[in-house]
Amino acid sequence: MNSIPHALLYCCMVISMSSAQELTPSPATPLLEPAPAPQLPPSPDEPDPALVPDETGPAPEGAENAPVVGEMTEHLHNSIKLGLAYLSSQQVENGSFGRGRFADHVGITSLAAIAFMSDGHLPGRGTYGEHVTRALDFILQHATETGLIAAETSHGPMYGHGFATLFLGEIYGMTDRDARVRTALEKAVELIVRTQNDEGGWRYQPVPSDADISVTICEVMALRSARNAGIKVPESTINRAIEYVKHCQNADGGFRYMARDGASAWPRTAAGLASLFYSGIHGGTAIEQGLDYLEKTAMPGRKGVRQSHYYYGQYYAVQAMYMAGGSRWERWWLGVRRDLLDRQSTNGGWLDHHVGGAYASSMALIVLQMPKRYLPIFQR
């Protein structure tokens, strides 16, 4: 098997586009501001509360306080129910998700747990709470003294490390403060901080050498989640990440894979925009040009949209549009919802032919449950 670094879909799941591929954007200033203490969602075993538009009008900060009319439909609820059941069947005995060359993968395992958490399932809570608990145990078992979270089979472990750190940040922020989780989370954050390279980004290995936008967004989201949960994140780390992402934007508004010259592509543009939003940049030329590029090149339902790294791209694109809010969110959400429902298999799952069903289903379920607004990472 080729090393995970070579395949934008690999360790981070679908992500690493080999030697010349993928993602980033934007302006400076704001930093990660701690979000309000998250409220536990209603039990997933109870009916979901109706989502209604905010009568005061769209919130300027994005879609978190301005739902689109009809965001959640009965068809969507049924699809999610089937998808979660399928995903639960993919967990193996040791608590991990992922098979074949992606067995024992901390990144895929973390994404699967986040998919369950997106429906309100937490350790000791909800139908799939036990699945989240087992996934958490697997991640903690692979949290090393150095701070790196990686299983034996990991190649280019910073992808998986970023997703695992994100998972720990979300679980720590949504549950009773488990000391084991805090310790692993603090060490994981420290490793991210000390492995940032001179450009301000990160790459496949936990050393401050090269950088690309796909690994960088993994680490930025992880830092944002940890910051939300009360873990210290140096301001300078975020400022340097912002500068790196800005240097990856092309004149057409899209983002290239690395700071040096390269072509724009919509999956890495989605990741670049998400990097900027999670770093505290919510407006400006770089954001607007990047959003325009996404809509022009990858609007769900439009013919001719590049399909490689589809689930990876939509995972970040829907987050970028959600944070942009307004008409951008509405257009993208209605399109991606229809597209993902059409792609669902009869067994309830989604399939990526390279990485597998657990990965694709986790990504699809996180996207489709965005309007539930349960996860702290999706709140400013």
- The band of 303, judged by pLDDT with boundaries at 50, 70 and 90, is confident
User: Which has the higher per-residue pLDDT, 291 or 9?
Assistant: 291
What pLDDT shows up at residue 61?
A: 66
User: Which has the higher per-residue pLDDT, 301 or 316?
Assistant: 316
- The band of 37, judged by pLDDT with boundaries at 50, 70 and 90, is very low
The yes-or-no verdict on residue 123 having pLDDT over 60 is yes
- The band of 282, judged by pLDDT with boundaries at 50, 70 and 90, is very high
Task: Tell me the CA end-to-end span of the chain in Å, nearest whole number.
Answer: 40
User: Which has the higher per-residue pLDDT, 254 or 52?
Assistant: 254
Number of other residues whose CB lies within 10 A of the CB of residue 121 = 26
What pLDDT shows up at residue 1?
A: 40
- DSSP helix/strand/coil, 13: strand
Tell me which residue of 275, 341, 351 sits closest to 25, measured CA to CA: 275
What pLDDT shows up at residue 50?
A: 32
Task: Give me the helices (H) in 231-265, please.
Answer: 235-247
What pLDDT shows up at residue 145?
A: 96
- Cα 221 → chain centroid: 7
What pLDDT shows up at residue 16?
A: 39
The yes-or-no verdict on residue 42 having pLDDT over 90 is no
User: Which has the higher per-residue pLDDT, 290 or 18?
Assistant: 290
- Give residue-wise pLDDT tens across range 224-245: 999 999 999 999 999 999 999 9
What pLDDT shows up at residue 371?
A: 95
**E-assigned strands of the chain?**
7-10, 13-16
Domain ranges across the chain? 7-33+60-378
The yes-or-no verdict on residue 47 having pLDDT over 70 is no
Integer Cα distance of 250 and 243 in angstroms: 14
- Cα 338 → chain centroid: 20
What pLDDT shows up at residue 49?
A: 38
Integer Cα distance of 186 and 2 in angstroms: 31
Integer Cα distance of 162 and 229 in angstroms: 16
Q: Which CATH number does 7-33+60-378 carry?
A: 1.50.10.20
User: Which has the higher per-residue pLDDT, 57 or 103?
Assistant: 103
For residues 40-58, average pLDDT: 37
- Give residue-wise pLDDT tens across range 143-162: 999 999 999 777 789 999 99
DSSP for 103-150?
TT-HHHHHHHHHHHHTTT-BTTBSTTHHHHHHHHHHHHHTB-TTS-B-
Sign of CA dihedral 61, 67, 69, 71: positive
Residue pair 4/154 in contact by the 8 Å Cβ criterion = yes
What pLDDT shows up at residue 179?
A: 96
- The band of 13, judged by pLDDT with boundaries at 50, 70 and 90, is very low
The yes-or-no verdict on residue 55 having pLDDT over 60 is no
What 341-344 contacts at long range (C-beta under 8 Å, 24+ apart), as own/partner pairs, is 341/75, 341/76, 341/79, 341/368, 344/79, 344/82, 344/83
Amino acid (1-letter code) at residue 191: L
Integer Cα distance of 269 and 309 in angstroms: 12
Residue pair 17/258 in contact by the 8 Å Cβ criterion = no
Tokens of 14: 């679908």
For residues 96-109, average pLDDT: 95
Torsion of CA 338, 52, 41, 233, to 10 degrees: 80
Q: Average the pLDDT over each of 90-99, 160-169, 172-181 and give the range with the smallest value.
A: 172-181
Integer Cα distance of 371 and 368 in angstroms: 7
**Average pLDDT along the chain:** 87
Integer Cα distance of 160 and 164 in angstroms: 6
Q: Average the pLDDT over each of 22-26, 125-129, 278-282 and give the range with the smallest value.
A: 22-26
User: Which has the higher per-residue pLDDT, 275 or 3?
Assistant: 275
The yes-or-no verdict on residue 57 having pLDDT over 80 is no
For residues 315-334, average pLDDT: 97
User: Which has the higher per-residue pLDDT, 40 or 186?
Assistant: 186
What pLDDT shows up at residue 333?
A: 97
Integer Cα distance of 154 and 238 in angstroms: 26
Report the length, in residues, of the chain.
380
Residue 225: CA atoms inside 13 Å, Cβ hemisphere, count? Answer: 30
